[in-house]
Structures are given as structure tokens and as C-alpha cells.
Structure 1
Amino acid sequence: MLALIDTVKSIDNQLSRRHIDLDPAGYWLVMVEREAGVLKVEHYSNDINDQGLAVDPETGEVIACQGGRKRLPSLTLTGRTAKELCVKIFEELESCPVTMLNHAAYLGRELMRAELALTGGGEYIQD
């Protein structure tokens, strides 16, 4: 069983290092809010410059991964399960803020990981 777990972790770590183009509709932050017993997602809009970097639509400046100006989410949702949040995002919103299938799959995976951390008491760090 440990060999299988190591193999799965190795595959996941390797795939996490691949290049992924940014979704022009923006990016998501996924969080676990333990005290409230919910998952929380925040969507941030962005534009993409000629170099493929996310830039603030208001300033045109490249969005820093850490530090930089505090940005406000364009959308915040909470739910108790990954499925509940996926239904809200992909079925109930008038305009879905995900425009690329690989980003939709990523968001679903991250929400499942967050749900497992919430229900199992483990730590969740977004990939």
C-alpha cells in the first residue's frame, strides 16, 4: 500500500510542474474554513499580456504571486462539498468564470482535495 501511495504522490508532483496556460477569465483561490465547516473559493479577474503573464485589469501591472497590492475577489462562494461548489460555479452562475476545460478540471480536483482535508481534518495547500 505504501508503494502505491508513493507512486501516486510522485505522479502528482511531476504533473504539478508542467506548464499550464492562464485562463483569461481569471484565477481561483481555494480555502478551507474549518470553524465554519465550509469550503470557500474566491475568483480574481485578470488580463493576460503578450508574454502570457496575468496582469491586473485596472493597472496593467503583472500580478505578483506573493506580496503586491491587495486585490479584491470578483466572486466569493462557500459550500460544504466540492460538488456543491462545482454546481454553483458551472451550473448556477449566469456567466461561468472558467473558460478552459483544463482549468475546470483543476478546480474540481482542488475542491475535492479541500473537501477531504475539511472532512478528514488534514491540511490543505492549493496546488
Structure 2
Amino acid sequence: MTARPPLVGAATWQAVMQTANHRCQCAGQCGDPHTRGGGRCDRAHGGHHHRHGGGTVRLLAAPADPAHLTLPAHRAAALPAGELAAWCPPCHDAARRTARTAEAAPPDADALF
């Protein structure tokens, strides 16, 4: 597998991918329990998607904490490698949607009393 880093932030991306062993680090934050991968997404950088027309998997380095997936891009890019994780695009997008939904949810009325 050839791991081509992005043009910007290549050293950080390489560090994140090395830590993740070039495999998506989602452990269900996307809503999928990833049972086939033993609780962790089985997509690897340079591998192929199993669904939706296939295609080559290109992992990205993004905040490890799903609550930080909603940070503006300039703040997420400033995070150190230790606060980033490898994400495949489908897991990243689903986890980000979940985080945005949680942010937008009104507080529980019972929590006030």
C-alpha cells in the first residue's frame, strides 16, 4: 500500500497514520458498531470501499474527539497530532453529522430541575 500524504501537513498526517497503522480508527462514533472489524472500522488507506461503487480509501487526519469534529477547519488544523485520529470519509462524515446533531439538540427540560 502506498501512503501518499496530503500536500499540506504531511508530517502530521504521517504521524497520525503511523499511529493508526493506516487504518480508520472509528470505533462506532459513526453509528456503525463495526462488528466485522472487531469494533473498529476495517477500512485501510489505499484499500477499497466495500460498498457504494468501491473506490480507493483515502484516510484523513481529523480530531479524535467526535465533539471536536465540528470545529472550524482552521482550529482543527491547529490541533497536535496526538489529538487527531485516522478517519475514512464515510465514518468521518457520519460522526460529524452525529456531533452536529448533538450540538443542535435543545437541552433536556428535566435537566433544569
TM-score normalised by the chain length of structure 2: 0.33
More helix by share: 2
